[in-house]
Amino acid sequence: MAKAARSSALDKEVEACLQRATSLLDKAKGRRGALPTNPDFLTLEGYQCLARHILAQRPEIGNYLVRAENLFDAALKLKRSSPRALMGKACVRASRRDWKQALECFRKVLRRAAPHAPQEGEQLNAIKEVRFALATCFAGLGRHQQAKNALQGVVAADAKDVEALCALAYLESRTGQGNEAKQRAAEKMAQAMTADPTHPAVLCRAADHSFSCGLQEARAGKALPDAWKLAKKLLQRASDNSDVPQVVAEVQYQLGRMEHAQGRFSEARELYKQCVRINPDHLAGVYVFAQCLVHERYFSQAVTVLEKAPPQLRKEPEVKKLLTAAYLATGEHDKQAATVSDSLVTMCPEDVEAWAMRAEAYSRLEKIVKPKVAIDSYERMAELMQASPEARAKVTPQMWNNLGTMRAMHGDPADAKEAYDSGMERVESLQQLGETQAGQSEKDLRVAELTMRFNKAWLAQSQPQEGEMQEAVRLYLALTEEVKWFADAFLQLGGLWQRVGKKEEALRNFQQAIKYSPFLGKLLCSEALRASGKYEEALKWGEKAARGAQANEFQYAHVFVGNLCYEASTHHKTPPQMSDSYLRKAMEYYTKALAANKDCQFAANGIGMVFAKRGKMDIAKQFLESVMNHQAMAESPSVYINLGHVLLEFGKPADIRRALECYNEAKQLDPEDKSVRSYIAQAHFMLEEFELASCALAEAVFYRQGDMQLRFNQATCWEAWARHVLLKKIHERVMTYDAMIEEVKSSIATLVSAVRVWKSLQSEWERKSDSERRTIASTTGAPKKFLKEMADITSHVDYCQHLQNVAHTKLADVSTKNDTMQLQIEAIAKQKAKSAKEAEEKNKGKQIRDKEKHLENEDKAQRLMDTTKTIELGRNMELQKDSKAQRPSKKKRTEEESVPALQLPEQAIADKDVVEGGEDVADMAALFEDDEVIEFHDKFEEGNQQDFFGSEAKLKKDKKDKKAKKEKKEKHHKDKKEKSKDRKEHKKEKKDKKRKREAELDDDMFD
């Protein structure tokens, strides 16, 4: 009470001082002048906000720290070297635990104040505070040696500074190693005790030393060591002498630590909680508070405390381990656990516990990420465990168990067994050490031992080798005899007995498990009776389980009973009236499950199957399609299979195609399901795709070679395939004779295989007794029909042999027709070849004639061209009178006399159409192409111009040249005529030979 009153009085005094300072600052603002922009004024306002922040019970309210920083920044803009503003900004950064920025500001302040080297007074105290603040920043950054140097500077300035001496003692004890560090820490504490034995820091450090001494006595077996009694007295004195929050928090932390060491976790948790509430930055207090919460299984609260812990604390490896363990324990933060464990193994790559936590985190994320990360983590953990005896000593039995389970799940049974054996050896060694030295309770070791023994039995049970089943039974029996409450062992043992056919023994074990696991025990009893075909008794046990189910078990129990009723209704021994009653019960249980959980798609799936059984296919289809579209059922093959069954019932090709898609999807989701291949074959059979049906059945028979029903269906499919080919397929219009032959040969081979299978089934069926036959028939959907068909296998064999005879006859007939058609095709091909050859020869003759005609035309044109070159035009033709021309009138003649005597060459040519030689120019032009005429016309104009303007000598020379050319061309023309004559004779000779050859071919054809 006195302490509370004193604290309240102090708070009132400080608040009064702040109010006084605020009023003075407000008065200064009201006066004229530039005080609000003065850096000293801004600095004072900043310190006022900083004080408000420190004294506030909830510092986040009011934003005092932000206002203080803004004021200090404004002051530094006006005066960059202001030591007070720098000191205020450094305090703000330190309050935010931004040690690097705070260190920079404190260094600037120290450089400004240190050159003065004061020996006493307020300046010396200020320098001591700055150096202590530097030490705090260095410690926050993990630079402990620099922190020691700064504290030694404080001690050098004032040898009686108790807080600096205590801080040096703490650093020496925590960071130093060996006896020398302990001796230095003791010396510093002795100096502090000498300087002020009543100082709270000295008392807290002395209490911490007493706790360490008492811890050794407690390990020796002493209930409450004297050193702890002394520590409590020292802490009480420190609490009485100081109201500083940091001191009070330290006192609460040390008191809680003593309670924690004595195993009183509830008391320790409350004291740690007060410590963290008073000083959230007390790193050790935050850590042990979270540790205590984890120990008391308050995992969510521990996660919250650690996530809100100061950043430098969250970087510590031990804190990361604790946070990962808390994440994993909640079962809701697996991703966060994996992320933290990744950073943990990066920081501590040789830490076995870190790798074990990472492996555990990723093993829970196998559906989200690849399991390779988990496997690699476990293998790395195994390597570290084998690296050294020290590492093996840190390994817990739980680690060996997890490693063995991971190896077993990923197909490595030998290494899994080795890990379980190593874990059992570790349990034995820890049990010999005792609970105190082992660090684990006897109960935890016992649980680890039973878990590994159970896992070894499960591992042996899952192996197909001979003898492993007996080993699993032996291990389970040992567990059930030794631990009567181990329900899982009874359940697994009952499952083994049921697998080997000992149904009574299995039922006894399930009933024994009901004592400790009522729900599972009753359900498995019902399952065992169902497997025996005792549906009435199975239904009684199932209803008991449903009535006693908890809230989280209700829907599963009701779906199980509904499935049981549905199966009973479809059993061949169930009478029609009982079948309808079972269907009503199934609908009732499915409806209850769906009412309990609207998202229970298994119940909706069951309702759809009930509607399908009652013939309401449209409603069943709607239910099953809605179930299939649900995200939770996207990986459930049973939904696709049920929808496929319903679609098959419609019988339309489009629906059968959709059913095939559903069956194929189910096959992809569960490749180990052998029955889905039979459903695929049935769908192909209905579509008359017998080859695909045969392939699906062959795959199913490969997996279940002893299944007589599958072999029966395979032979039936082959028989139907051959019948379809012989009676329908080969008669299609698009089928060629070659394709018919191949199809008939294929049908013969198929019939041979079918006969072989029918005879094999017949001989095997005859060797079985009546009870064995009934047992085999009971596994089919229609036992009576199956028995009837198996008794009538001889008719199938006869029918197949009949089809073989038909196929051979058909093959001979088609082969004869094919041969006849081939002969006709060959004759037609020969006739076509002959006609093509004649047409080719005719075409060649035409080409030769055309070529010869073209040559003749060229010769004629050449002659005409040679003739035109010898044409001579008269001279001075303009002076000659045309006797045929009419005499112009006097007027016209007068006009013509006024025209010059010079005429153009074109006029001369136009006036004289007939020239020497007697050829008409227009007639000659008609023999040439347009280009040739133009060329000749151009030459003619050129000659006329030369004639008209040239000299007489030149004309004589031209005439001589023309004459020589004419003789040369006449000679060339004569040679051409001789060649043309030779060609004509050669052509005639070829025609004679051709006629003679054709006559010989005609004689050969008619002969």
Distance of CA 267 to the CA centre of its chain: 49
| Residues 548/518, Cβ–Cβ less than 8 Å | yes
Query: Which residues, including other chains, have CB under 8 Å from residue 430's CB and lie 6 or more apart?
Result: 397, 438, 440, 445
Q: Give the Å distances, CA to CA, from 545 to 493, 521, 548, 556.
A: 20, 8, 5, 10
pLDDT of residue 220: 59
CA dihedral sign, ordered 178, 180, 186, 189: negative
CB atoms inside a 10 Å sphere around CB 560: 22
* CATH number attached to the domain at 620-705: 1.25.40.10
3-state secondary structure of 920: strand
Distance CA 314, CA 764 (A): 73
pLDDT of residue 330: 86
CA dihedral sign, ordered 227, 233, 234, 239: positive
Q: Give the Å distances, CA to CA, from 571 to 100, 500, 511, 605.
A: 79, 23, 26, 19
Distance CA 90, CA 77 (A): 16
718 token code pair: 């082959």
- Is it the case that residue 891 has pLDDT exceeding 70? no
Q: How confident is the model at residue 901 (pLDDT cuts 50, 70, 90)?
A: very low
| 914 beta partners | 920
- What confidence tens digit (pLDDT) does each residue in 122-162 have? 777 777 888 888 888 888 888 888 888 888 888 887 778 88
- What confidence tens digit (pLDDT) does each residue in 824-843 have? 888 898 889 888 988 988 89
Distance of CA 308 to the CA centre of its chain: 33
- What confidence tens digit (pLDDT) does each residue in 170-219 have? 887 777 676 777 778 778 778 887 888 888 888 888 888 788 777 766 66
pLDDT of residue 355: 83
Q: Which residue has the higher pLDDT, 497 or 781?
A: 497
Q: Which long-range contacts (CB under 8 A, 24 or more apart) does 266-273 make?
A: 266/296, 268/292, 269/293, 269/296
- What confidence tens digit (pLDDT) does each residue in 76-91 have? 888 887 888 888 888 8
Percent of the chain with pLDDT over 70: 80
pLDDT of residue 492: 81
Distance CA 589, CA 595 (A): 10
Q: Give the Å distances, CA to CA, from 155 to 102, 124, 563, 608.
A: 22, 12, 83, 86
pLDDT of residue 1007: 47
Q: Which helix (H) or strand (E) holds 43?
A: helix 39-55
- Is it the case that residue 269 has pLDDT exceeding 80? yes
- Is it the case that residue 890 has pLDDT exceeding 70? no
- Is it the case that residue 979 has pLDDT exceeding 60? yes
Residue 411 phi, psi (nearest 5): 75, 35
| Residues 458/492, Cβ–Cβ less than 8 Å | yes
Q: Which helix (H) or strand (E) holds 134?
A: helix 121-140
Mean pLDDT over the full length of the chain: 77
- What confidence tens digit (pLDDT) does each residue in 615-645 have? 888 887 877 777 777 665 667 787 788 888 8
- Is it the case that residue 897 has pLDDT exceeding 50? no
3-state secondary structure of 661: helix
Q: Which residue has the higher pLDDT, 543 or 411?
A: 543
pLDDT of residue 876: 63
Degrees to nearest 5, angle at CA 481 with 476 and 485: 90
- Is it the case that residue 342 has pLDDT exceeding 80? yes
Distance of CA 633 to the CA centre of its chain: 19
* Average of per-residue pLDDT across 578-601: 84
Distance CA 495, CA 510 (A): 9
Q: Which long-range contacts (CB under 8 A, 24 or more apart) does 1-4 make?
A: 3/239, 3/240, 3/243
Distance CA 732, CA 848 (A): 52
Q: Which residue has the higher pLDDT, 221 or 911?
A: 221
**Whole-model pTM?**
0.51
Eight-class DSSP state of 760: H
- What confidence tens digit (pLDDT) does each residue in 735-758 have? 677 778 888 888 888 888 888 988
pLDDT of residue 926: 43
Query: Which residues, including other chains, have CB under 8 Å from residue 89's CB and lie 6 or more apart?
Result: 69, 72, 73, 76, 105
Q: Which residue has the higher pLDDT, 96 or 947?
A: 96
pLDDT of residue 282: 84
Distance CA 293, CA 316 (A): 18
Distance CA 974, CA 967 (A): 11
- Is it the case that residue 413 has pLDDT exceeding 60? yes
Distance CA 289, CA 269 (A): 6
Distance of CA 768 to the CA centre of its chain: 52
Distance CA 210, CA 204 (A): 10
| 920 beta partners | 914
- What confidence tens digit (pLDDT) does each residue in 92-125 have? 888 887 888 888 888 888 887 665 555 666 777 7
Amino acid at residue number 963:
K
Of 86, 89, 132, which Cα lies nearest the Cα of 109?
A: 86
Is it true that 484-598 and 620-705 share their CATH fold?
yes
What DSSP line would sit under 712-745, residue for residue?
HHHHHHHHHHHHHHHHTGGG-TT--HHHHHHHHH
pLDDT of residue 370: 55
Distance CA 641, CA 31 (A): 90
- Is it the case that residue 75 has pLDDT exceeding 50? yes
Q: Which helix (H) or strand (E) holds 1000?
A: helix 952-1006
How do the domains of the chain map onto residue ranges? 484-598, 620-705, 710-835, 957-1007
- Tally DSSP H helices, then E strands, for the chain: 48, 0
* Average of per-residue pLDDT across 784-793: 84
Q: Which residue has the higher pLDDT, 941 or 451?
A: 451
| Residues 386/392, Cβ–Cβ less than 8 Å | yes
| Residues 113/90, Cβ–Cβ less than 8 Å | no
Residue 919 falls in which region: left (phi positive, over 0), alpha (psi -120 to 50) or beta: beta
pLDDT of residue 908: 40
What DSSP line would sit under 831-871, residue for residue?
HHHHHHHHHHHHHHHHHHHHHHHHHHHHHHHHHHHHHHTT-
Q: How confident is the model at residue 914 (pLDDT cuts 50, 70, 90)?
A: very low
The CATH homologous superfamily of the domain defined by 484-598: Tetratricopeptide repeat domain (1.25.40.10)
pLDDT of residue 366: 60
pLDDT of residue 904: 41
* Average of per-residue pLDDT across 709-716: 86
pLDDT of residue 609: 82
Q: How close are the terminal C-alpha atoms of the chain, in Å? A: 147
pLDDT of residue 880: 58
* Average of per-residue pLDDT across 251-257: 88
